[in-house]
Amino acid sequence: MTLVMGILNVTPDSFSDGGRWDTADAAIAQGIRLAEQGADLVDVGGESTRPGAQRVEPDEEIARVVPVVRALTERGIAVSVDTMRAATAAASLEAGATLINDVSGGLADPAMVAVVADAGCDYVAMHWRAHSTQMDGLDRYDDVVAEVRDELAARVDALAAAGVDPARIILDPGLGFSKVGPSNWPLLADIPGWAGDARVLIGASRKRFLGAAIEREGRDASAASRDHATTAVTTLAAERGAWAVRVHDAGAARDAIAVVSAWQNADHTQE
């Protein structure tokens, strides 16, 4: 069954909920809520990757993330960490995290590969072309599915050559990253086309391309209004066998996945 990864942004500037959980106590309480709502993993991030976001200092990212990771794991909650930095990844694994979710797929910090290889942990490698301040200008594709496939395959090859177990690598197409609008939909429509047989993480929650899809006269399409659209993506991703979905609303995702499972496992011979 598809897993739910609940988003926990310990930042003042994330695009949807920046500032809501930017203290350790608030973040810990929200992480507990996400787990209670049905999140299988709580994904803790200390640096916004929204379009145009500026990077934070490494020590600041660690200070934001590690106390939250430690507190949640001490409560038995499974935690992943959303980071591009090897130092943050290493400190988070030491604090109890079990998965590193790297939006750069190891490109932003060459030292990341050794940390992941040494830890033997699961690792999300996302399709990535540039940091947040530059990425929108790189939404240039002749065939987005083929190009994402090839660029992700190159990352997997590099990671494996550096000692990362390929079975530990989870692929993420990077929805919204160097993909401003229409480029996102073919990646959702043809998951096997870019992922092959790999485990897949889908992170569409509240993103701009969903807002564009539901926008109409008189309709609020801001980030906070995109949860129903996100749940639709969750449902379709679960139906197509995604390993996990990364969402803000863990309860809605858990319900959607349960319905997909009940539908798929229904006994059609019963009257």
Q: Which of 149, 226, 246, 254 is catalytic?
A: 246
Q: What DSSP element (H or E) covers 187?
A: helix 184-189
CA-CA distances (angstroms) from residue 217 to 151, 220, 221? 38, 9, 10
The single-letter DSSP state of residue 268 is T
85 is catalytic: no
Query: CA 158, CA 113: separation in Å to the nearest integer?
Result: 9
Selecting among 207, 208, 226, 254, the annotated active-site residue is: 207
Amino acid in position 211: G
DSSP 227-258: HHHHHHHHHHHHHTT-SEEEES-HHHHHHHHH
**Nearest partner of 40 among 4, 2, 79, judged by Cα:** 4
Q: Is there a catalytic annotation at residue 246?
A: yes
- Catalytic positions, written as ranges: 207, 246
